[in-house]
Amino acid sequence: MSESVIKVENLSKQYRLGEVGTGTLAHDLNRWWHRMRGKEDPYLLVGEENDRETVGNSEYVWSLRDINFEVKQGEVLGIIGKNGAGKSTLLKILSRTTTPTSGSIKLKGRVASLLEVGTGFHPELSGRDNIFLNGSILGMSKSEIKSKFDEIVDFAKVDRYIDTPVKRYSSGMYVRLAFAVAAHLDPEILIVDEVLAVGDAEFQQKCLGKMRDVSINEGKTILFVSHSMAAVRNLCNRVIHLKNGSIQQNGDTAEVVNSYLTSNNTIKTSYDLSKSKRRSGSGVVQFLSMELRNEDGEVVNTVLTGDNVTLVFKLRASVSRATKIDLGFSFHNAYDEVLAALYSSYQDYYIEISDSEYINVYCVIPEFPFSAGQLVVRGRIEVAGEESDWPSEPLGIINIETGDFFRTSKINNKITTPFLMKGIWDSRSY
Amino acid sequence: MQSVLLEEEKKVELIVEPEAEEKWDLVIEPKSGLFDLRLKEVWNYRDLLVLFVKRDFKAQYKQTILGPLWHFIQPIFTTVVFLVVFSNIANIPTDGIPPILFYLSGITIWNYFASCLNGTSNTFVANAGIFGKVYFPRMILPLATVLSNLVKFSIQFLLLLSLLIYFSIQGVSINIGWSLLVLPLLLVVLAGLGLGLGIIISSLTTKYRDFSVLIGFGVQLLMYATPVVYPLSFLVEKSYRWFIVWNPLTPLVEAFRYALFGQGTVSASSILYSFGFMLVILLVGLIIFHKVERSFMDTV
């Protein structure tokens, strides 16, 4: 069990920015000229750290720089990081769709990479043909597919359509068939990208469940890249946090995920909606932005479970006087499923505006009951029962970290449910 | 794999130092040897090759009424146009072969080369979607193109054969017999040339798209540098004859006609020349292709 099946040594990958044009040819020739004389590639020396937000001096950036890690058999390793941290580059090198600039990766056993489901599906071909085609592309032999064919069809539940071209399939059937093929691969190492976040919640649960199943029951090694901290927490034994192409942290899941979330303060957590056109409603009263305040009244973007959290909604009215304003907001998870919604009218509270263009609405949520992760906040306003504003963009994002919800002075990291609740406990002998 | 693991455990037990040399199934490194072409891997994926050929064939004429009959229509129409332009208007002789047979045979064999070249020359760009997501030996796709074009060629060859039989009943002298045995060799050389040239161009196209523009009209022009619409014998005492003679496609087209009609300017040495040319082009192509396939996703 403790044998290393993946060993990554000093792995680096350099990319050239900008477009391919005449300059590219000049560099290519220069590089070739250096190589002919037995010298090193002159452009390897000039690479910069890959930070999207600062404009660099060099056209060359290191998408990955000196990455070292090992994965043992049966481990589920999560890879997290901001966009552009190098996650996808690492996956691409691992799945051999591109090569490293320097360093090496050593692998033991058959590798299957699922960067996408349904790679190579041809719309004109029948489900049957596509199972064979897709299976072979993913590395199965014809006899292997034949022996698993019935299982695959059964898993996808498309028996009736198996000889129909897949372009006639509903998108759900298409994805199910594609995933069914992937799920019946039998590799020792499985590389999975975020792409499995397509499809509905049930399908995602199925994917995650299947992955957990193969790692625990069959001892398969899985590399899992994701932005969903919930999925990573759920699935991984160990997590690597990539930042600007280097490993920031490599260790226990809860530890790495937590420090990743706290390092995330630069992430935009509230949006300026004052200029947004993508909204419906009469526009009498509209959202401008949203703010999050902690118990001390400071504006924050990360809150702790169990804290008293204040949501501040900044509104603008286009009339000088409006009554019966009903403000509602909802919390959504990363899959945009609504977890909770609250209108002020539920509590018989209505907002009034008079002789003023701007107004702040405060809503305190006592003992914030959502567990660690991220919530997307959306909002809607009604004035006298008619829709006034319903932006299609979210108002903001709340980062939540585990706090002392139960007032026990202990941090309980084991909770994976989205909601937390407290009870009043008692027991009597009789 | 199970047995490999077991063996390895045994080894660890026997060897006192467990840190002894570890065995890895796959090592991903920046560079590979110039001649490390991994052709064995292509063989391991032969099932996929067959499936790609089937896919090409099945998908091409889906939702058409005429279906594979389209394979006949294109050469027939081209033959008619050539008949009018080159035979009737330009009065170019056809080596004593009935003009219809002359043009149709030229078109059939040329089509095979041209479709191999055109098909393989955009391998990387056209399949970037699949290549970016999953690994399999990239050579599979150009090979599949060559094979599915062979199927197409066979269909068109049947058309040519049936016309030949019709003409022989009409009393035209036809040479069909043992000479047909040379046909597979001609096809191999043509396929090799098309494939080799195609993968070189597809490798260059990943970074510089200029070459895909070139191939668009280049193949058309190349047809006129090959004795497709005229026989080589027509060029005697023309100053540019050397150019046509040194075109490695020339002996192949002439040999094809010679095998069918017993007419043409061809020698064993000229076929050998084409064969050697093909080997060089194919080897250069494989080396460049293999070098590019490893990291083309970065530049495509």
pLDDT at B8: 43
Domain membership of residue A15 (yes or no) is no
Clarify whether residues A299 and A182 are in a common domain. Answer: no
Quote the percentage of chain B above a pLDDT of 90: 39
Give B185: exposed, middle or buried? Use CB within 10 Å, 0-12, 13-18, 19+. Answer: middle
Clarify whether residues A361 and A244 are in a common domain. Answer: no
Clarify whether residues A209 and A289 are in a common domain. Answer: no
Residue B206 and residue B199: Cα distance in Å, rounded? 11
Domain membership of residue A33 (yes or no) is no
Clarify whether residues A103 and A166 are in a common domain. Answer: yes
A83 φ/ψ sector (left φ>0, alpha ψ -120 to 50, else beta): beta
Residue B215 and residue B210: Cα distance in Å, rounded? 9
Give A204: exposed, middle or buried? Use CB within 10 Å, 0-12, 13-18, 19+. Answer: middle
How much is the ipTM here? 0.77
Per CB-CB distance under 8 Å, the chain A contacts of B55 are 122, 125, 129, 133
Point out the residue among B59, B63, B294 whose CB comes nearest to the CB of A99. B294
Report pLDDT digits (tens) over B215-234: 888 998 999 999 999 998 88
Report pLDDT digits (tens) over A147-187: 999 988 988 888 888 999 888 888 778 888 888 888 788 88
Question: Angle CA(A383)–CA(A385)–CA(A387) in degrees, nearest 5?
Answer: 60
Q: Residue B7 — very low, low, confident or very high, per pLDDT cuts 50/70/90?
A: very low
Point out the residue among B29, B58, B135 whose CB comes nearest to the CB of A104. B29
Residue A254 and residue A264: Cα distance in Å, rounded? 15
CATH code of the domain in which A323 resides: 2.70.50.60
Tokens of residue B77, six digits: 């129409």
Q: Chain B within 8 Å of A109 (Cβ-Cβ)?
A: yes
What is residue A366's DSSP assignment? S
Does the pLDDT of residue A336 top 80, yes or no?
no
pLDDT averaged over every residue in chain A: 82
Clarify whether residues A243 and A108 are in a common domain. Answer: yes
Q: Residue A426 — very low, low, confident or very high, per pLDDT cuts 50/70/90?
A: very high
A367 φ/ψ sector (left φ>0, alpha ψ -120 to 50, else beta): left
Query: How near does any CA of chain B get to the CA of A224, in Å?
Result: 15
Interhelix angle A142-156/A171-183, rounded to 10 degrees, is 140
pLDDT at A268: 56
**Contact yes or no for A49/A60 (Cβ under 8 A):** no
> Could you give the maximum distance between any two Cα atoms of chain B, in Å?
88
Query: How near does any CA of chain B get to the CA of A309, in Å?
Result: 44
Q: What φ, ψ does residue B231 adopt, rounded to 5°?
A: -85, 155
**Contact yes or no for A297/A362 (Cβ under 8 A):** no
What is residue A333's DSSP assignment? -
**Contact yes or no for B300/B203 (Cβ under 8 A):** no
A9 φ/ψ sector (left φ>0, alpha ψ -120 to 50, else beta): beta
Question: Where is the domain boundary, A229, A262, A295?
Answer: A262
**Contact yes or no for A287/A381 (Cβ under 8 A):** yes
Tokens of residue B286, six digits: 């494989």
Clarify whether residues A179 and A251 are in a common domain. Answer: yes
Instruction: Pick the closest to residue A301 from A376, A395, A397, A405 (CA basis).
Output: A397
The letter for the amino acid at A381 is: I
Clarify whether residues A389 and A252 are in a common domain. Answer: no
Does the pLDDT of residue B141 top 80, yes or no?
yes
CA dihedral for A56, A62, A66, A68, sign (positive or negative):
positive
Residue A401 and residue A78: Cα distance in Å, rounded? 19
What would the mean pLDDT of B117-129 be, rounded to a whole number? 87
What would the mean pLDDT of A315-336 be, rounded to a whole number? 87
Range picked from A83-87, B62-66, B80-84 for highest mean pLDDT:
B80-84
Report pLDDT digits (tens) over A278-297: 888 888 899 998 988 888 88
Q: Chain B within 8 Å of A115 (Cβ-Cβ)?
A: yes
**Residue B240: Cβ within 10 Å count:** 9
Q: Residue A131 — very low, low, confident or very high, per pLDDT cuts 50/70/90?
A: very high
Domain residues for the domain of A186 are 4-10+65-262
Range in A323-337, B32-46, B252-266 the model is least confident about: B32-46
Residue B150 and residue B115: Cα distance in Å, rounded? 10
Would the CB atoms of B47 and A141 count as touching at under 8 Å?
Answer: yes
H/E stretch holding A302: strand A302-304
> Could you give the maximum distance between any two Cα atoms of chain A, in Å?
93
Per CB-CB distance under 8 Å, the chain B contacts of A104 are 27-30
Would the CB atoms of B24 and A136 count as touching at under 8 Å?
Answer: no
Q: Chain B within 8 Å of A164 (Cβ-Cβ)?
A: no
Strand pairing category for A302-304 and A396-401: parallel
Domain membership of residue A193 (yes or no) is yes
Point out the residue among A25, A106, A119 whose CB comes nearest to the CB of B134. A119
pLDDT at B142: 94
Tokens of residue A146, six digits: 């034949």
Residue A313 and residue A310: Cα distance in Å, rounded? 10
Does the pLDDT of residue A33 top 80, yes or no?
no
Question: Where is the domain boundary, A234, A262, A290?
Answer: A262
Query: How near does any CA of chain A get to the CA of B279, in Å?
Result: 26
Q: Residue B55 — very low, low, confident or very high, per pLDDT cuts 50/70/90?
A: confident
Query: How near does any CA of chain A get to the CA of B145, in Å?
Result: 16
Residue A76 and residue A72: Cα distance in Å, rounded? 9
Clarify whether residues A324 and A258 are in a common domain. Answer: no
Per CB-CB distance under 8 Å, the chain A contacts of B25 are 107-110
What would the mean pLDDT of A31-57 be, rounded to a whole number? 65
Domain membership of residue A155 (yes or no) is yes
Does the pLDDT of residue B274 top 90, yes or no?
yes
- Which of B10 and A276 is assigned the larger pLDDT? A276
Does the pLDDT of residue A264 top 80, yes or no?
no
Residue A159 and residue A176: Cα distance in Å, rounded? 12
Report how many Cβ contacts below 8 Å link chain A to chain B: 111
Interhelix angle A201-218/A171-183, rounded to 10 degrees, is 0
Clarify whether residues A205 and A232 are in a common domain. Answer: yes
Q: Which of residues 14-33 of B touch A (CB under 8 A)?
A: 22-30
CATH code of the domain in which A183 resides: 3.40.50.300
Domain membership of residue A295 (yes or no) is yes
Clarify whether residues A80 and A194 are in a common domain. Answer: yes
pLDDT at B211: 83
**Residue A263: Cβ within 10 Å count:** 14
Clarify whether residues A252 and A294 are in a common domain. Answer: no
Residue B55 and residue B49: Cα distance in Å, rounded? 10
Domain count within chain A: 2
Query: How near does any CA of chain A get to the CA of B195, in Å?
Result: 22
Report pLDDT digits (tens) over A268-279: 566 777 777 888
Domain membership of residue A321 (yes or no) is yes
pLDDT at B22: 66
**Residue A424: Cβ within 10 Å count:** 4
Query: Could you give the C-alpha distances from A174 to A167, A268, A387, B55, B192, in angstroms and in order?
Result: 8, 35, 38, 18, 38
Clarify whether residues A245 and A294 are in a common domain. Answer: no
Residue A146 and residue A125: Cα distance in Å, rounded? 17
Range in A100-109, A112-121, B248-257 the model is least confident about: A112-121
Q: Chain B within 8 Å of A181 (Cβ-Cβ)?
A: no
Would the CB atoms of A113 and B136 count as touching at under 8 Å?
Answer: no
Domain residues of chain B, as ranges? 69-298
Query: Could you give the C-alpha distances from A99 to A24, B32, B205, in angstroms and in order?
Result: 19, 10, 19
Residues 6+ apart with CB under 8 A from A19: none
